[in-house]
Structure 1
Amino acid sequence: MKTKFINFLKLVFPSSFTELAVFLFFITCYGVLGSYIAIHYRIIFDNRIPWDAYFSFDNKSILMTGGSFERHPLSYYFFNWVREFALFISGGKMDAGFRLTLAWLSNIIISLNILQVFKYLKNIINLPLPLSLLLVLFFGMFSTNIILSFTPENFTYTLFLLSLYNHYAAIQLKKEEKTSALALSLAGITIGGLTITNFVKVFIPLLFEKNLFKNWKKIGSAAVRVIIAVICYVLLYLNRIDFKYQAIFSKTNQQYEKFSNVESMPTWDMILSFFFGGNILFPSFIISDKHNMKGFNFKALYMDLYTSIFPYIFVGTILILISWSYIKNFKNKWVQIVMLSFFIDIIIHCVMRFGLHTSYIYGGHFVFVYPLLIGWLLYAYGSSPKILSFLTVTISVLFIYLLANNWFRMSEFFWFLENYYK
């Protein structure tokens, strides 16, 4: 047990000088951003604003209740700990100290998420250090990472847990070892407990265990592990709602109807601007008048569709790169795991249209797949200097454009804070 615990710590936290440098760089950058927002503005947490202050995140609602049980079955318990810890640090007050604690918890988690991607690029794909650093710098500037680095939300912790589990599962496959029932159950409870649609992703790596479909004993072993994980999850879920399982179906239907019937924008544009684009490259913003249904009016910020050709070119290039990677590495089991996980989100949001008009907030479920797939593409052309150089230059240009765009949009975000959330 001691060895497993030490290995777990090495998996989650920096275990080399380079990893420590990457972690410290991002925790410093995100820390400065989050600290400034927490100290000078009240947008991270305001008792009067339960939801939607910026980009449809539900900060207060999530912190106080864990979110709706049909979408976030077990997050109630997790956010009780987060809230109580923040109150302990702030002396029981929901003031700047409370907001600062919440921001730093998010900052640490997102920095650890960046670290997981770096470890995967370095240890699983075995990319050269300069390329790994380029990809994590690129990934670190994604709009999802920037916003979640100071946002106390389910997505913040889900993003880290998914990237951590993908890294862990990749290591197990590389060592040709199976994922234990304990690890599978813990992953299901934590990942699926924060957001139910991610529960099925936990079982995808099992499909690629060595000789699984050539040996009945291995199939049986995998089935038993899955059954144990499902039983643990279902029992905890039912206990959370006092075993009133009928409520799950009625509430789920209500949520689907509420978040899937938006006709004000073209579907193709929402897919490009919000689902594929808004998680990486900020579009322009819209300010809206909102109220908390208790007499308090406030201003809310939403993302708009892209209005220039350049963001569409950017998003199109990203899609070409990840599609190219998938085709080139089609027989690679690690790539298949990443893409199958991504396909689940594409089906939910693009095909079923759930939350498509605000799908940029769901980036915490999948944005880590972009640097991983691009990393596999670079690996596939490691022996082709010309193509590798072309890809490196392309990613560098994309990074420069991403940095300039998101820096500018964050200045607009600060204008919004300065005018409405002092």
Structure 2
Amino acid sequence: MNFKQKSTDLLKTTFPSQRNELFLFIFFFTVYGVLGSFLALNYRIIFDNRIPWDAYFSFDNRAIVMTGGGFERHPLSNYFFDFIRNFALLISGGKMDFTFRLVLAFLSNFAISLSLVQIFKYLKNIIRLPLKISLLIVVFFSLFATNILLSFTPETYTYTLFFLVLFNYYSALKLRKDEKISGSAMVLSTIFIGGLTITNAVKVFIPVLFEKKLFWNWKKVLNVILRSAISIIIFILLYLNRVNFDYTRIFAKTGEQYEKFSKPKITPLWDMITSWFFGGNMLFSNFAIRDYHSKVGFKYKALFMDVYSSWIPYIFVAVVFGLIFWSYAKNFKNKLVQVLTISLLIDVIIHCFLKFGLHTAYIYGGHFVFVYPLLIGWLFFAYKNSPKIQTFLYCSLGILIIYLGLNNIIRMEEFFDFLNKYYQ
């Protein structure tokens, strides 16, 4: 396959290539765009040069935009966000004003809208669901708290979500055709996905383990080892280059960060997992306001999620994960379902077992929430010849969408109350 054909295929895979995909992108880009534009033009919450972190839900907007974040967790993100920051400054004439915020929101919106298109492509082209079911699942996913927040938030999670969904769609296309994942795709995915958040790098290598008859042929095993080794070596060299090859800084800083973000909190462990890791990325909970100040003494208010105060959100989370577990059990022999589940399990281990960042786990959704709609899609597929169960699933998802939409709209009104008081 020549370079021109590869480039064409890459564009068709990444961007809308059919009319319904284009309409879907325009719709979400418009809806999210209205929200992001209003926030950028009327409030300073998206970017305020005086506020380093935690203005809302523990996102580090300024730190990420200005430096790419800490090298220990985001090893190559400084290069990525240097481009984003310089582009925004170019449009705003060098000023960090409302135009600067508007460009940042525009780019975040672009990434999230493309992510939703990728979800739609996976449902339509990989699972091959009917159009109405694919649209229903995409609408459900679009109402997640993670997507609403990331649609205007300049953060690593925003772009990680897009790159992860894109890679999972690409790898699913390859596995479905019994083709191997190219070495160049593995290198680029490791750089972009692992470069933005290092723990996600391992997810690039999960689909490779499910290539056809991999462990039946030693030549294929050696080929996988070679592709993986090249990806890892290039990534490590780029990582070391950022820290001037002083690898001791990496270990020291990583240990420091783990100690800082894994300390037990007063909130019960089960409630942190339910309300923040599983639920908080879908369904907004109650909000809590805290007083913060920067290192130079600038005082500001910060907004965080509290645990759920009603039994209904817990039921919502239980139903969604009941559908996910059901899908996994029903599709256990499906290698594409195994890829998605293992990817989710990595984050469960990091945050729920190792407790890293569990007290603010609602910000990590960009790393794994895309798995939820895809596994629900596979559940619909498993019962394609069972009209009664399909109807049950369709009605259940419809009820979930109504509750999710109403809850998150009401919570966003509370978010705007917070902005009107402290961020005009």
Which of the five TM-score ranges fits, normalised by the shorter chain? over 0.9
Q: Distance in 1 between matches of 2:252 and 2:357?
A: 18
Aligned match of 2:28? 26
Q: Distance in 2 between matches of 1:252 and 1:281?
A: 31
1:263 deviates by: 2.2
Aligned match of 1:201? 203
Q: How does 1:6-85 map to 2 (within 5 A)?
A: 6-85=8-87
1:262 deviates by: 2.8
Kindly indicate whether residue 417 of structure 2 is the aligned counterpart of residue 418 of structure 1. Answer: no
1:99 deviates by: 0.2
Q: Deviations over 1:234-285 (max 9, x none)?
A: 0000001001001111111110110000321000000000000000000010
- The amino acid that maps onto 1:316 is A
Aligned match of 1:341? 343
Among candidates 240, 243, 246, match of residue 245 of structure 2: 243
Q: Distance in 2 between matches of 1:326 and 1:287?
A: 38
Q: Distance in 2 between matches of 1:264 and 1:149?
A: 31
Q: How does 1:287-298 map to 2 (within 5 A)?
A: 287-298=289-300
Task: Decide whether the 8 Å contact of 2:265 with 2:359 is kept in 1.
Answer: no
1:14 deviates by: 0.7
- The amino acid that maps onto 1:333 is K
Kindly indicate whether residue 156 of structure 2 is the aligned counterpart of residue 165 of structure 1. Answer: no
- The amino acid that maps onto 1:185 is V
Q: Distance in 1 between matches of 2:321 and 2:423?
A: 36
Among candidates 233, 239, 245, match of residue 231 of structure 1: 233
Among candidates 327, 330, 334, match of residue 329 of structure 2: 327
Among candidates 358, 361, 368, match of residue 359 of structure 1: 361
Unaligned runs of 5+ in 1: none
- The amino acid that maps onto 2:106 is W
Q: Distance in 2 between matches of 1:373 and 1:40?
A: 38
Q: Distance in 2 between matches of 1:61 and 1:54?
A: 13
- The amino acid that maps onto 1:186 is L
Aligned match of 1:89? 91
1:293 deviates by: 1.8
Q: Distance in 2 between matches of 1:333 and 1:21?
A: 31
* Identity across matched positions, percent: 63
- The amino acid that maps onto 2:313 is P
Q: Distance in 2 between matches of 1:119 and 1:141?
A: 18
Kindly indicate whether residue 270 of structure 2 is the aligned counterpart of residue 268 of structure 1. Answer: yes
- The amino acid that maps onto 1:66 is G
1:174 deviates by: 1.1
- TM-score normalized with structure 1 length: 1.00
Q: Distance in 1 between matches of 2:12 and 2:37?
A: 28
- The amino acid that maps onto 1:58 is D
Q: How does 1:368-387 map to 2 (within 5 A)?
A: 368-387=370-389
Q: Distance in 1 between matches of 2:114 and 2:25?
A: 7
Q: Deviations over 1:290-316 (max 9, x none)?
A: 000211100000000000000000000
1:86 deviates by: 0.1
Task: Decide whether the 8 Å contact of 2:129 with 2:381 is kept in 1.
Answer: yes
1:176 deviates by: 1.2
Q: Distance in 2 between matches of 1:293 and 1:245?
A: 28
Task: Decide whether the 8 Å contact of 2:119 with 2:165 is kept in 1.
Answer: yes
Q: Distance in 1 between matches of 2:269 and 2:259?
A: 16
Q: Distance in 1 between matches of 2:365 and 2:395?
A: 26
Q: Distance in 1 between matches of 2:298 and 2:213?
A: 60
Q: 3-state DSSP class of the match of 1:219?
A: helix
Q: Distance in 1 between matches of 2:61 and 2:102?
A: 14
Q: Distance in 2 between matches of 1:263 and 1:290?
A: 19
Q: Distance in 2 between matches of 1:243 and 1:360?
A: 34
- The amino acid that maps onto 1:94 is M
Q: Distance in 2 between matches of 1:330 and 1:295?
A: 54
Q: Distance in 2 between matches of 1:34 and 1:128?
A: 32
Q: Distance in 2 between matches of 1:120 and 1:254?
A: 39
Task: Decide whether the 8 Å contact of 2:275 with 2:307 is kept in 1.
Answer: yes
Q: 3-state DSSP class of the match of 2:345?
A: helix
Kindly indicate whether residue 404 of structure 2 is the aligned counterpart of residue 402 of structure 1. Answer: yes
Aligned match of 1:121? 123
Q: Deviations over 1:55-90 (max 9, x none)?
A: 000000001110000000000111000000000000
Q: Distance in 2 between matches of 1:112 and 1:20?
A: 10
Q: Distance in 1 between matches of 2:98 and 2:147?
A: 22
Q: 3-state DSSP class of the match of 1:278?
A: coil
1:15 deviates by: 0.6
Q: Distance in 2 between matches of 1:410 and 1:10?
A: 35
1:365 deviates by: 0.1
Q: How does 1:275-286 map to 2 (within 5 A)?
A: 275-286=277-288
Q: 3-state DSSP class of the match of 2:63?
A: helix
Kindly indicate whether residue 191 of structure 2 is the aligned counterpart of residue 181 of structure 1. Answer: no
1:215 deviates by: 0.5
Q: Distance in 2 between matches of 1:42 and 1:389?
A: 45
Among candidates 311, 314, 321, match of residue 312 of structure 1: 314
Supply the RMSD in Å over aligned alpha carbons: 0.5
